[in-house]
Amino acid sequence: MDEFTEDIISTEIAGTLDGLMVQRIKRTPDNIAYRSFDADSKSWRDTRWSEVGEQIARWQAALAAEDLLPGERVAVHLRNSKEWVFFDQAALACGLVIVPLYTDDRPDNIAYIMSDSAVKVLLVQDAAVWKRLGPALAGQEDLQRVLILDGSRSGTTAVLQDKRVRLVSDWLPASAAPLHMRDGDPHALASIVYTSGTTGRPKGVMLTHHNMLSIAHSALTMIDVYQEDLFLSFLPLSHTLERTAGYYLPVMSGSAVAYARSIMQLAEDLQHIRPTVMIAVPRIFERVFSRIQGQMDQQSGFKRTLFNLTTEIGWHRFEYQQKRASWRPRLLLWPLLKRLVASKVTAKLGGRLRLSVSGGAALSKPVAQIFIGLGVPILQGYGLTETSPVISVNVPEDNEPGSVGIPLNGVQARIGEDEELLVKTPGMMRGYWNNHAATAEIIDSDGWLHTGDQARIDKGHIYITGRIKDILVMSNGEKVPPMDMELAISLVQAIEQVLVIGEGESFLAAIAVLAQEEWQQLAERFKLDVDAADSLQSEKLQAFLLKEIRGRLKDFPGYAKVRRVILSLDPWTVDNGLLTPTLKVKRARVLKKFADEIKTLYESGPVRR
Exposure of 231 by Cβ count < 10 A (0-12 exposed, 13-18 middle, 19+ buried)? buried
> Do 110 and 77 form a contact (C-beta atoms < 8 A)?
yes
Quick check: 559 pLDDT over 80? Answer: no
Quick check: 252 pLDDT over 90? Answer: yes
In sequence order, what are the beta bridge partners of 431?
206
On whether both 454 and 441 belong to a single domain, the answer is yes
- Is 547 within a domain? yes
> What pLDDT is recorded for position 155?
84
Quick check: 609 pLDDT over 60? Answer: no
Higher pLDDT, 559 or 33: 33
> What pLDDT is recorded for position 198?
54
On whether both 137 and 65 belong to a single domain, the answer is yes
Four-point Cα dihedral 110, 107, 156, 172, nearest 10: 10
- What average pLDDT does range 169-187 have in this prediction? 96
On whether both 423 and 374 belong to a single domain, the answer is yes
Of 49-58, 468-477, 556-565, which gets the smallest average pLDDT? 468-477
| Pairing verdict, β 256-259 and 562-568 | unpaired
- Is 448 within a domain? yes
- What average pLDDT does range 364-385 have in this prediction? 92
On whether both 538 and 456 belong to a single domain, the answer is no
On whether both 414 and 429 belong to a single domain, the answer is yes
Four-point Cα dihedral 366, 371, 374, 375, nearest 10: -130
Residue type, 165: V
pLDDT per position as a tens digit, 50-69:
999 999 999 999 999 999 99
Cα separation of 488 and 553, whole Å? Answer: 7
- What average pLDDT does range 215-239 have in this prediction? 97
From 199, 218, 237, give the residue that closes a domain: 218
Domain count, the chain: 3
On whether both 403 and 475 belong to a single domain, the answer is no
On whether both 414 and 454 belong to a single domain, the answer is yes
Quick check: 495 pLDDT over 80? Answer: yes
- Tell me the CATH number at 75: 3.40.50.12780
Q: Kindly give the residue spans of alpha helices, DSSP state H, lying in 429-495.
A: 436-442, 482-489
Q: What is the 3-state secondary structure (H, E, C) of 488-523?
A: HHCCCCCEEEEEEECCCCCCEEEEEEECHHHHHHHH
From 163, 194, 218, give the residue that closes a domain: 218
Of 94-103, 294-303, 516-525, 537-546, which gets the smallest average pLDDT? 294-303
Q: What pTM does this model have? A: 0.86
In sequence order, what are the beta bridge partners of 355?
277
On whether both 475 and 374 belong to a single domain, the answer is no
Q: Given pLDDT bands bounded at 50, 70 and 90, which one contains residue 166?
A: very high
- Tell me the CATH number at 487: 3.30.300.30
> What pLDDT is recorded for position 504?
87
Percent of the chain with pLDDT over 70: 98
Quick check: 334 pLDDT over 70? Answer: yes
pLDDT per position as a tens digit, 434-449:
999 999 999 999 999 9
Phi, psi (deg, nearest 5) at residue 153 = -80, 155
Q: Given pLDDT bands bounded at 50, 70 and 90, which one contains residue 607?
A: low
pLDDT per position as a tens digit, 597-606:
999 999 888 8
- Is 235 within a domain? no
Cα separation of 446 and 443, whole Å? Answer: 8
- What average pLDDT does range 257-277 have in this prediction? 95
User: Contacts for 554-562 with beta carbons within 8 Å, 24 or more apart?
Assistant: 556/484, 556/485, 556/488, 559/474, 559/476, 559/478, 559/480, 559/508, 560/480, 560/485, 560/508, 561/507, 561/508, 562/485, 562/489, 562/500, 562/508, 562/509, 562/510
> What pLDDT is recorded for position 131?
95
- Is 264 within a domain? no
